[in-house]
Amino acid sequence: MSTNRISSLDSFRFLAITFVVLYHYFSRWTLPESTINYYPYFNKYSNNIFQSGFIGVEFFFIISGFVIFFTLENSKSFNAFFLRRLIRLYPALIFCSVLTFVSIPFLDSDQKFAAFHNSILDFIPTLTFSGPNIWNSLLKQDSIKFIDSVNWSLIIEVRFYFIAALIYFVIKGDFFLRWLQFTLTVNLIVIIFYLLYGESKILTKLVEFSTINYLPFFTLGIIFYYSYSNRFATAFAKYPVIIISAILSSLIICIISADQRITYVSIIILMILISLFFFMIFKPKLISILDQPIISKIGVVSYSIYLLHQNIGLILIHYFSSYIHKQYLFAIPLVVYVIITLIATVIYHYFEVPISRYLKNVIKH
């Protein structure tokens, strides 16, 4: 194994965040995705590729599956692992949430983006990685939401961290085998519910609670890491039935949980992105074109870009549109992407990294 190949993950993160940004800047907030239009260009530049940009989040989950297995193997305990993950998540999350909270009233003083304005209570679900509905019920509110709606995916991430760490440190044994057994068991439960009750409320709640529809992507990332570390062939020789069953049941879950956004184009894009992992593992030279410094640097700060790009980005697009001729409106989202990337880079180097380094040193002592 070489560190050069692992560095390809930053290039993958660049692709993932770029797809998400294109989705949010061209398709998410206009017809047919939304009845509310937040674009000065409406859906003029939306196309099948941009409409499939949400696939970038699933690609992030695959990357997480790969990285988390690596992190687990380099952590001494459940607590040590979870602290490392929280140190990774919290500095940028807190900074970007505060920045969003403070800047949106200033940038959108006429409240054309009223849904993006926050109350102090919105920090609760955002910083606790929990659903707003829980807090609306507990606090008898009806308007608590995330600081930025993109925060929903962090709940999925943290649940995955918890389950993976539980299996690795508490259940112990062969983690790869235990994870596949867990995946297969949960998949079969959902499939049985689906066969018995169809697309019922029971199944919907089960999927929502377990986030089972995203489990296949984390599992795929774990399989890729096992292949990358030259252990998959040995594992497959030991328990081929479990591996094949886990993969096939995961594919069924993807089909069951697919929503109306899934198209042939989105499936093709996902397949192309997934194939990049095969190239990274078996033919890294074929994707060497992605190993460009600018691509890697954007990939490194992709987490902060993700946290900042939607609400602030859409307001900036609207703001700049009044100064640009209509025929050049397509360029505004690209300019805003660059601006958000520069802000994210500053946050990463001058806040996220120093704070993370400090917290790691505190934990060591």
Q: Are 153 and 57 in contact (CB under 8 A)?
A: yes
Say whether pLDDT at 151 is over 70. yes
- The verdict on 91 and 106 lying in the same domain is yes
* The two three-digit tokens of residue 321, written as one number: 């549109």
One domain, residues 244 and 273:
no
Average pLDDT of the chain to the nearest whole number = 92
Which of 228, 260, 292 lies at the terminal end of a domain, its last residue? 260
Of 260, 284, 310, which marks where a domain is finished?
A: 260
- Site of tokens 């996902």: 270
**DSSP label at 172?**
-
pLDDT tens profile 255-291:
888 888 889 999 999 999 999 999 999 999 999 999 8
- Among 260, 286, 321, the domain boundary falls at 260
pLDDT at 189: 87
The percent of residues above 70 in pLDDT, for the chain, comes to 95
Quick one: CA torsion of 126, 16, 42, 112, rounded to 10 degrees? 20
Domain count, the chain: 2
DSSP letter (8 states) at residue 139: T
Inter-residue long-range contacts of 105-108, CB under 8 Å, 24+ positions, other chains counted: 107/312, 107/315, 107/316, 107/319, 108/315
Residue 207: which domain range? 173-260
How far apart CA 34 and CA 115 sit, in angstroms, is 13
